[in-house]
Amino acid sequence: MRKFSAFAIAREALRGHKGWGVQWASPEPRSEYDVIIIGAGGHGLATAYYLAKEHGITNVAVLEKGWLGGGNTGRNTTIIRSNYLYDESAGIYDHALKLWDGLSQDLNYNVMYSARGVMMLAHNVHDVQVLQRHIHANRLNGVDNEWLTPEQAKDYCPPLNISGQTRYPVIGATLQRRGGTARHDAVAWGYARAASDRGVHIIQNCEVTGTRRAPQGHIIGVDTSKGFIGAKKVGVVAAGHTSVLMEMADVRMPLESYPLQAMVSEPVKPVFPCVVMSNTVHAYISQSDKGELVIGAGTDQYTSYSQAGGLHIINHTVDAICEMFPMFRRMKMLRSWGGIVDVTPDRSPILAKTPVQGLYVNCGWGTGGFKATPGSGHVFAHTIARDEPHRINAPFTLERFRTGRLIDEAAAAAVAH
Amino acid sequence: MLLIRCPYCEEDRPELEFRHAGEAHLVRPSNMDAMSDAEFERFLFIRQNPKGVVFERWRHVHGCARFFNAARDTITDKFVTTYKAGEPKPTLEGAEE
């Protein structure tokens, strides 16, 4: 793999950019691997990368039904933050946030992580109390988060309407300055390139159709559209399709899959300096480096695998955006799309061993998995390599729904689920 | 937006009038004091989440306000049928038991 550098750019500029080459190999699958990861999204590719980098396990394949990064990795609003309420959540999301800082250098690939600040608006007394509780909880966990008056919020984000004439006036806000955005595709591509460089096989257009187990019960491989592939360990990192894949191994999951939509506007010059989220009116917005406004909606109410949701959800979201930011009322929306998010009963992820020996699962990231990509891959690689969870993901078990030790961000996440 | 047939009102109405209410035919156990943690987990949290036909509850909250059941394909989002609460699960091709 050719390293990206200022020198390489200058050299290629002189040679007509003919020397770049492919960024990752597309090999035929071997008959057996030490580890198979199902799902080449950000989390799966990050897992493979950290398996190779941190644990020296390079006989790894990442199997992808479609194309690399074509699922929720390419379908989110790229928001990164770690201001969650509970200790367990703060632990894993802040672990990820620390890895975002420096990820471009680590991967030698510009993931365009931009710590431009994530602001969350309070519109009523309840919001104020909940958000201030978050600030205090975050501070105890060493996670930065601060309170802003409406005027301070407008200073930080000038397009914000704090006039008091709106249906839900802004009466305060929190700001996590280390929060921000990254380029979603670049995250998948960067991890794929770096993993491939360390010997990981990335096999696209290879759908897993079944799992095979030895008579003693442990996993021995997977059936795919390219035939049987043996494996000592299998990690399922398949987001919305986790229930379907785990069913193949006779493991029933506490998951439901919902459509979650997002949209982008026509590109305009830089007008929007940060990320703004509102729990109460339920919309979130930022501006990509390409200039598009990136706007997120809530999930549809019904379960679905259709990667499409109802237009009324988008309408509702755009209404909220236009009220908070009147200057966007005449913007044209270019595209909208849906992803399928796997939601757990407590809205916290599952990164854990399963009842099947050699089968591991990383799922349940629901509506907010992108921000956790590096941290999730890092601790999940540890879980697979050592056959025991990292201290950070130890609470995120599958058994917690039996023991009752839930991590109940459902009622506590800074954005409604 | 989905167009949903309420089996009580016997009319196709827009999704906005309805509230989704989760997986159908989950029977609330009558012997909760005797249930194990695993049985509670199955009742409270484990869901089929099928890719294909799902049996689910809906409530016509801005209409007759009654709960009913539906069979819907989660790939196409098309309703196969809706039926009143308490009626047995219809047998459909391709649906999981």
| pLDDT value of residue A411 | 65
Domain ranges of chain A: 25-79+85-94+97-107+184-254+346-403, 113-179+257-343
Cβ pair A407, A375 in contact under 8 A: no
Chain B residue numbers touching A401 (CB-CB < 8 A): 41, 44-46
Chain A residue numbers touching B46 (CB-CB < 8 A): 252-254, 401
Q: Which of B20, B46, B50 sits opposite A302 (nearest CB)?
A: B20
Chain B residue numbers touching A253 (CB-CB < 8 A): 46-47, 49
| Token output for A285 | 């917005």
Tell me the average confidence (pLDDT) per consecutive run of 10 residues in chain A, 417 residues long: 90 92 95 98 98 98 96 95 95 97 96 97 94 96 97 97 92 97 97 98 97 96 98 97 96 96 96 94 93 93 94 94 94 94 96 97 95 98 98 98 93 55
Distance CA A403, CA A22 (A): 48
Residue of A nearest to B57 (CA): A302
Whether residue B97 is predicted with pLDDT greater than 70 in this model: the reply is: no
Beta-carbon separation of A257 and B72 below 8 A: no
Nearest residue to A370 via CA among A72, A149, A112: A72
CB atoms within 10 A of CB A228: 15
Handedness of CA A388, A390, A395, A401 (dihedral sign): negative
- The owner of tokens 């994530």 is A118
Beta-carbon separation of A401 and B41 below 8 A: yes
Distance CA A96, CA A110 (A): 17
The whole-angstrom distance between A286's CA and the closest CA on chain B is 26
Contacts of A371 (CB under 8 A, 6+ apart): A79, A80, A81, A82, A93, A96, A97
| pLDDT value of residue A93 | 97
Query: Domain A113-179+257-343 class?
Result: alpha beta
Burial class (CB in 10 A: 0-12, 13-18, 19+), B85: middle
**Which of B21 and A412 is assigned the larger pLDDT?**
B21
Cβ pair A368, A342 in contact under 8 A: no
| pLDDT value of residue A145 | 97
The whole-angstrom distance between A384's CA and the closest CA on chain B is 24
The answer to whether B30 faces chain A, any CB pair under 8 Å, is: no
The answer to whether A315 faces chain B, any CB pair under 8 Å, is: no
The answer to whether A316 faces chain B, any CB pair under 8 Å, is: no
Contacts of A308 (CB under 8 A, 6+ apart): A259, A337, A338, B77
Chain B residue numbers touching A404 (CB-CB < 8 A): 37
The whole-angstrom distance between A131's CA and the closest CA on chain B is 28
Q: Predicted ipTM?
A: 0.94
Q: Which CATH superfamily is domain A25-79+85-94+97-107+184-254+346-403 in?
A: FAD/NAD(P)-binding domain (3.50.50.60)
The whole-angstrom distance between B17's CA and the closest CA on chain A is 12
The answer to whether A332 faces chain B, any CB pair under 8 Å, is: no
CB atoms within 10 A of CB A282: 16
Beta-carbon separation of B37 and A403 below 8 A: yes
| pLDDT value of residue A205 | 97
- The owner of tokens 């050592």 is A386
| pLDDT value of residue A282 | 84
The overall average pLDDT reported for chain B is: 94
Any bridge partners for residue B83, and if so which? Answer: B69
Cβ pair A411, A131 in contact under 8 A: no
- The owner of tokens 């306000």 is B65
The answer to whether A307 faces chain B, any CB pair under 8 Å, is: no
The whole-angstrom distance between A407's CA and the closest CA on chain B is 14
The answer to whether A290 faces chain B, any CB pair under 8 Å, is: no
The whole-angstrom distance between A94's CA and the closest CA on chain B is 28
Q: Which of B1, B20, B45 sits opposite A345 (nearest CB)?
A: B45
Domains A25-79+85-94+97-107+184-254+346-403 and A113-179+257-343 share a fold: no
| pLDDT value of residue A415 | 54
Cβ pair A266, A334 in contact under 8 A: yes
Give pLDDT tens digits for A13-55. Answer: 999 999 888 999 999 999 999 999 999 999 999 999 999 999 9
Amino acid in the structure at residue A327: M
Domains in chain B: ranges and CATH: 3-26+33-84 (3.30.2270.10)
The whole-angstrom distance between A297's CA and the closest CA on chain B is 15
Chain A residue numbers touching B77 (CB-CB < 8 A): 302, 304, 306, 308
Chain A residue numbers touching B2 (CB-CB < 8 A): 302, 310
Q: Which of B45, B48, B74 sits opposite A305 (nearest CB)?
A: B74
Contacts of B83 (CB under 8 A, 6+ apart): B7, B68, B69, B70, B90
Distance CA A357, CA A147 (A): 47
The whole-angstrom distance between A302's CA and the closest CA on chain B is 6
pTM of the model: 0.95
Q: Which of A252, A256, A304 sits opposite B77 (nearest CB)?
A: A304
| Token output for A68 | 């690399």
The answer to whether A405 faces chain B, any CB pair under 8 Å, is: no
Give pLDDT tens digits for A182-199. Answer: 999 999 999 999 999 999
The answer to whether B70 faces chain A, any CB pair under 8 Å, is: no
Beta-carbon separation of B15 and A312 below 8 A: yes
